Chain A
Amino acid sequence: MTSVDRSPRAGAGVASPARGSTPRPAGRAGGADRRPRRSHDGWWPVLFVLPTMFGVVLFYLWPIVQTGYFSFTEWGAFGGQTWVGAENYVRLASDPDLGTAVVNTLVYTAIVLLGIPVAMVVASLLNRPGMRFTAFYRVLYFMPYVAMPTAVAMVWRLIFNGDFGVLNWLLGLVGIDGPAWTSTPGFALVAVSVVGLWTSLGFAIIILSAGLRNIPPELYEAAALDGATAWRQFRSVTVPLLTPSVFFVTVITVINGFQLFDLLYALMGQANPAIQQTQSLVYLFYNEAFLRNDKGFAAAIAMVILLIVGAVTLLQFRMQRRWVTYA
């Protein structure tokens, strides 16, 4: 982010905070004078980055390469791989569970994304001047995000219980006979998504709150002087200047959505009659790798997840030019 300070008006360094300080031919002033500077620094920067890079390569990149290799093998019960070519992928393509898992994961992610507008409203309320107990509310909303997913799931299991749950008791008061939420196909996915939305709300609120605070008050003053109404200020100042934060939250939420597992596992359990219709991509991976012990096939699923997440994220970065405004 240092580049932001250095050339506040140039788009170069700021254009994509997620890509960090990767030098890009930005075609603007900022980028041009940075390149010679870099070579001046000599090998020192490399040295500073080395410890982190070492960890990233060893614990992230290398395992990805390995998993890629394993996805072309058949894996014995206790190790020992045999090269089987693309067989795992062929099998995966014809596996009906894959389609179900992809759809479920997409539905889950879509529902959780609905939390972002909600978070925007809450964040705006929390940032209203004169609002009392903001710190308290912020902690309240953030707590589910830092709580252990398993603990959260245990509580929600009780709430969702078909016979003795609080939710169905409440519905019963108004004459509705609620289903067994976590063990009926269809309802189960909604139940999991709602809890996912609820847990991720706090994170979005904190990021968006920070984004709101970064909007300089002068802009509002200037807008007011120009005669802009409150609504106009929101639409023309707040919304555009908040888009970088919204973009960041969206990317993170989508990636997290695709990694749905612990919540689903803890909320439903593996001996659930609805699990097959509700499983996510990562659950499918877990099931094959650790329950059915077919790790080569599971590696193929992991590669597919990586490709999907990579493609979706890339698409989001491509699309950001159309709607994200960097000040």
Chain B
Amino acid sequence: MKHLLRSASLAGVAAVALTLSACGGGDDAAEDGAAVAPTDAQAEITYAIWDENQKPAIDQNIKDFNEKYPNIKVTVDLTPYQQYFTKLQTQGESRTLPDVFWMNGPNVQLYAANDLLQPVTGLVESGDVDPSKYPDALNELYSFEGTQYGVPKDFDTVALWYNKALFEQAGVDLPTDDWTWDDFTAAAGTISEKLADQGVYGVVTELNGGGQSSYYDSILQAGGHVISEDGTSSGYDDPASIEGLRLWADLVADGASPSVQQLSDTKPNVWFNSGKAAMFWSGNWSVAEMKDSPNKDDFGIVRLPEGPERRATVIHGLANVVAADGENVEAANAFLAYLGSEEAQRTQAEMGAANPAYTGTQEAFVDSVPSFGIDVFLESADEMSFPYPISKNTAAWNALENELLPQAFSGERPVEDVAKELADAMDEELAKE
């Protein structure tokens, strides 16, 4: 789940212009506080975020915002991701939400359904926010029942990171954009075997803290799904989904990947960062960390390997939202509109904070570390991305995934059994929504 926070998503999938219908309808919802404050407005607002790495870019955003709105004081409230949504939930309950805050896919429907978020419909109508400048998949992710509630901030997809030096040492050909699962698993196996004396593994990824950079992608590549399109039933019992899970169980069983325990003691990014793993499934949120790695000159990025059914990556992105019933909704709206602007998002890209959502501003992010080949993430977004699986109470079944799936990846229980149990338990949670 950590990545979720950091990343933003969206892309491809375009499809369905739900957004448009959102702009048309939803008048009643939008009436309240839809306006943007005048530039001489005086107010104090809070902006809640969870990623410390992005703080410098956000401080810069606030500085630029204050050139136009000198009397709106913005205070940043930074809470680490692990506690962010726990705190936000309590704030929501006591109706003391921050004026403007970060939102992610798994949580947006929960807050929107409980009327805690201000629809952006009014800002769209007044021209302060233009949804067509953001990927459709992101607009869709932040819409609930036809109304859009968030302005996309950034997005991320997943790709295959690799360490050239380790591939060369093991005498294995470097990965390419045309790799298949077979190429990938063979390389992972060979490298772990040849470099075993150095304690180097073929591949690492997050296996017990959410599936964004591992099984969500492999399930899609195998042709399966995590949740049905209408969000009412689990896809974990789909044979294709089971095949997607088995990819990781097999890699662990073969010793090509560290065990679930090892990945819990030492996080996947640490294995890769320190040159103890040759490949790493991860998203563009890792750029900020890996550009400072001692092994950074050996790192490269290619598309995720093609599965038995297709190429795929999930896409997710963050959005900025405004709390409904806030005291300074107009000032908050002004700040929200600014954060969604081309200028603000370009600043984020240039400072290497995130891969921005605003069309045309991503170049600066790609150029921030030329040797990595960051454009792979954008291509993946355009060509092979699928929406991040969510429902109204995503957290409930995310907890089930984290509880059950490690048993399958560790080989403790057969993958089929775990997947069936997970599907049943998840269906039960979905029925409660």
Contacts and interface: CB of A to CB of B under 8 A. Distances in A.
Interface of A: 76-79, 157, 160-165, 179-180, 182-184, 269-274, 276, 287, 290-293
B266 interface: yes
B396 A272 contact: no
Contacts of A290: 86, 89
B349 interface: no
Contact of B208 (A163, A179, A272): A272
Nearest to B412: A273
B199 interface: yes
5 contacts: A77-B89, A163-B199, A271-B264, A272-B208, A274-B261
A77 B110 CA distance: 8
Contacts of B186: none
A271 to B, nearest CB: 4
Nearest to B276: A163
Interface string B193-233: 00000010000000011100000000000000000000000
Given A163-B266, A271-B402, A293-B393, 19 more contacts: A77-B110, A78-B89, A78-B93, A78-B114, A78-B116, A161-B265, A163-B199, A163-B262, A180-B265, A182-B265, A271-B208, A271-B264, A273-B208, A273-B410, A274-B261, A276-B403, A290-B86, A293-B89, A293-B395
Nearest to A184: B261
Interface residues of B, number: 30
Nearest to A269: B264
Contact of A292 (B82, B395, B406, B407): B395
In this complex, which of B82, B199, B406 has the most chain A Cβ atoms within 10 angstroms of its Cβ?
Answer: B406
Contacts of A165: 265
A76 B266 CA distance: 37
Contacts of B265: 157, 160-163, 165, 180, 182-183
Interface string B386-421: 000000010110010011001100100000000000
A76 B92 CA distance: 12
Contacts of A164: 266
A78 B86 contact: no
B276 to A, nearest CB: 8
B260 interface: yes
A14 to B, nearest CB: 45
User: What is the predominant secondary structure among interface residues of chain A facing chain B?
Assistant: loop
A96 B209 CA distance: 23
Contacts of A79: 93
A162 B92 contact: no
Contact of A183 (B89, B93, B261, B407): B261
B347 to A, nearest CB: 33
A67 to B, nearest CB: 15
Contacts of A276: 403
A76 B399 CA distance: 18
B402 A180 contact: no
Interface string B95-134: 0000000000000001000101000000000000000000
A180 B261 contact: yes
Contacts of B261: 162, 179-180, 183-184, 273-274
A-B residue pairs, 5 tightest by C-beta: A271-B209, A180-B261, A273-B406, A183-B264, A183-B261
A180 B262 contact: yes
Nearest to A165: B265
A179 B259 CA distance: 12
Contacts of A293: 89, 393, 395-396
Contacts of A271: 1, 208-210, 264, 402
A189 B46 CA distance: 41
A189 B255 CA distance: 26
A265 to B, nearest CB: 10
